[in-house]
């Protein structure tokens, strides 16, 4: 079953040779929602390839508060962990399961070997860097130029895409932590969006109606 999922999620990008090597050396792991997959200052010994679910990548400020950087979807890898791996340093990010998720963990040294020996793997890594770089620039732009209500709308819209559903199961506190603000601010903004008939608030869930 794992072999089928790996081929389904990565076969369009990677050739059969590297797929077989991934299956040979990779370790299959499952995580439930809110599990910490990689933590800050943790030595990076494995590179995660996400097979199912979603993972959020967070940074921590000097006061210990988390700031959302980007989300990972199935078929992707965390380039922040790749960067730490290449520099043989400790993790600078926290990876948390946004949903129940399954991964195949690749020994860090294999990333170096394959980067030089396999073109499809090298292209996959470089494209991953480009995607994450663009997303990080977008995150910086949001922090610098968007008001909190605009950031909230963008956050909820991204959630509907990730979950493939207009109904999001989430607590106001979780949104506040992801957007680096207070629960009171988020609750107020959500109530305003509900008054504008753009969302419907429920118990620990939000139905997105219209963000045009």
Whole-structure pTM value: 0.72
For the chain, the average pLDDT equals 87
For the residues 36-51, what does the mean pLDDT come to?
90
Nearest to 54 by CA among 99, 14, 15: 99
5 vs 210, more confident = 5
For the residues 41-68, what does the mean pLDDT come to?
86
Structural domains in the chain plus CATH codes:
2-144 (2.60.120.10), 147-208 (1.10.10.10)
72 vs 141, more confident = 72
Nearest to 78 by CA among 110, 104, 47: 47
The pair phi, psi for residue 122, each rounded to 5°, is -60, -45
pLDDT at 141 over 80: no
Coil, strand, or helix at residue 61?
A: coil
pLDDT attached to residue 182: 84
Provide the percentage of residues in the chain whose pLDDT is more than 90.
Answer: 44
For the residues 109-125, what does the mean pLDDT come to?
91
Q: Label residue 27 exposed, middle or buried (CB < 10 Å: 0-12, 13-18, 19+).
A: exposed
Give per-residue pLDDT as tens, 148-161: 888 899 899 989 98
The residue behind tokens 């895409």 is 161
CB contact at 8 A, 209 and 197: yes
């Amino acid at each position: 079953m794992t072999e089928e999922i790996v081929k389904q999620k990565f076969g369009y990008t990677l050739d059969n040779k590297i797929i077989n090597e991934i299956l040979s050396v990779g370790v299959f792991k499952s995580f439930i929602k809110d599990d910490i997959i990689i933590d800050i200052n943790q030595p990076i010994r494995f590179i995660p390839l996400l097979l199912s679910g979603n993972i959020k990548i967070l940074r921590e400020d000097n006061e210990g508060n988390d700031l959302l950087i980007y989300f990972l979807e199935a078929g992707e890898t965390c380039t922040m962990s790749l960067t730490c791996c290449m520099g043989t340093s400790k993790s600078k990010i926290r990876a948390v399961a946004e949903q129940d998720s399954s991964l195949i963990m690749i020994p860090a040294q294999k990333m170096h070997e394959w980067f030089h020996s396999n073109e499809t793997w090298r292209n996959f890594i470089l494209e991953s860097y480009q995607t994450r770089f663009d997303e990080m620039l977008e995150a910086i732009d949001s922090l610098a130029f968007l008001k909190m209500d605009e950031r909230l709308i963008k956050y909820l819209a991204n959630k509907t895409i990730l979950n493939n559903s207009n109904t999001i199961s989430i607590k106001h506190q979780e949104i506040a932590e992801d957007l680096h603000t207070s629960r009171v601010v988020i609750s107020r903004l959500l109530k305003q969006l509900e008054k504008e008939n753009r969302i419907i608030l429920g118990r620990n869930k939000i139905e997105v109606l219209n963000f045009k």
